[in-house]
């Protein structure tokens, strides 16, 4: 399970949590402009926009979970198990495997509007990357500073929805997620007034009562509501430090702690990593479950005209600063 979010101050920020029972050995991966992309059906693309994001690299191919390209277009794929339906190859269409979807879009689109036009020609196919890495059932969020859309491949075909909240989780389908927000229109960051009865003297007894009823469980519907409420009501200064800090607080509202979400296999889903990318500056920030210190990778510090992937393994050991002594983790 996962949650993706957008946030706008002076710059535009995009990121996600990856909530899962185990890690595939994810890395921060910069794909330079001249890295050769060999699409299964669409042929070889030798030049494209550079991008940065988190990916599992297999056979020197980046299987991106989320990424931002050099133009500031952002994209992430989130689990959509039981609802995602991919097709066989179709004549007259751009046949793109689901694992190729992020580099296909980010490699050639500079905006959501350009992505919309590209989506009109796309047929997402059910071809898997390999026998060891079967097709993942996903839906996607695509964002730039001007708009956000959600893309879902359902049994009735591909659907593209405007996403005015800039949030995506998992099931149910996006239109149902948005409809459920109607149930929470009474929530507010302000203290509530007594509408229960004019005959009763009712008073607030603590701060935060305006949000009574905000879901607190870890289900995808509840995470959608909670992340939307926190994001839509977030206030911060527009400096880089304040914006990044606030973004991590937004996604921190849906963190999954080990022990609170047990799978049918007896494992525990945790927030393996949380990302935040300044899409204007190409700086990718992240934390991991065992390292709460924010780490940053700047795409523009790399040679973006090279042909080879640049990979940075996650820093996964907790970093603790001793304020009045030299601290060493035991």
Active-site positions? Answer: 2
3-state secondary structure of 150: strand
Separation in Å, CA 66 to CA 88, 222, 238, 258: 25, 22, 24, 23
Read off the tokens for 242: 């304040």
Q: Cis peptide leading into 172, omega within 30 of 0?
A: yes
The number of beta carbons lying within 10 Å of the beta carbon of residue 310 is 20
Coil/strand/helix, residue 181 = helix
3-state secondary structure (DSSP) of residue 108 = coil
Cβ-based neighbour number of residue 258 at 10 Å? 12
Neighbours of 53 (CB within 10 A): 31
* 3-state secondary structure at position 196: coil
Q: For residue 89, give both structure tokens.
A: 């190859």
């Amino acid at each position: 399970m996962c949650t993706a979010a957008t946030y706008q101050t002076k710059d535009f920020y995009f990121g996600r949590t990856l909530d899962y029972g185990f890690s595939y050995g994810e890395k921060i991966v910069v794909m330079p402009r001249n890295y050769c992309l060999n699409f299964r059906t669409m042929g070889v693309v030798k030049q494209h926009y550079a991008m940065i994001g988190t990916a599992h690299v297999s056979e020197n191919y980046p299987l991106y979970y989320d990424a931002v390209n050099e133009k500031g277009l952002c994209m992430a794929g989130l689990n959509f198990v039981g609802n995602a339906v991919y097709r066989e190859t179709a004549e007259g269409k751009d046949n793109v495997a689901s694992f190729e979807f992020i580099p296909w879009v980010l490699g050639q689109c500079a905006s959501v509007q350009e992505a919309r036009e590209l989506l009109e020609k796309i047929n997402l196919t059910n071809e898997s990357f390999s026998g060891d890495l079967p097709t993942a059932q996903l839906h996607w969020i695509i964002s730039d500073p001007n708009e956000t859309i959600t893309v879902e491949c359902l049994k009735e075909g591909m659907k593209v929805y405007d996403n005015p909240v800039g949030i995506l989780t998992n099931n149910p389908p996006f239109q149902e997620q948005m409809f459920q927000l109607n149930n929470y229109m009474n929530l507010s960051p302000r203290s509530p007034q007594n509408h229960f009865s004019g005959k009763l003297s009712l008073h607030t007894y603590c701060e935060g009562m305006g949000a009574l009823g905000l879901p607190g469980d870890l289900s995808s519907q509840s995470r959608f509501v909670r992340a939307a409420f926190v994001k839509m009501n977030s206030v911060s200064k527009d400096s880089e430090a304040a914006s990044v800090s606030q973004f991590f607080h937004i996604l921190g509202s849906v963190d999954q702690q080990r022990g609170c979400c047990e799978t049918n296999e007896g494992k525990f889903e945790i927030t393996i990593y949380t990302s935040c990318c300044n899409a204007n500056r190409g700086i990718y920030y992240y934390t991991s479950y065992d390292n709460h210190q924010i780490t940053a990778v700047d795409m523009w510090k790399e040679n973006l005209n090279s042909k080879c992937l640049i990979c940075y393994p996650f820093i996964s050991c907790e970093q603790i600063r001793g304020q009045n002594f030299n601290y060493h983790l035991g």
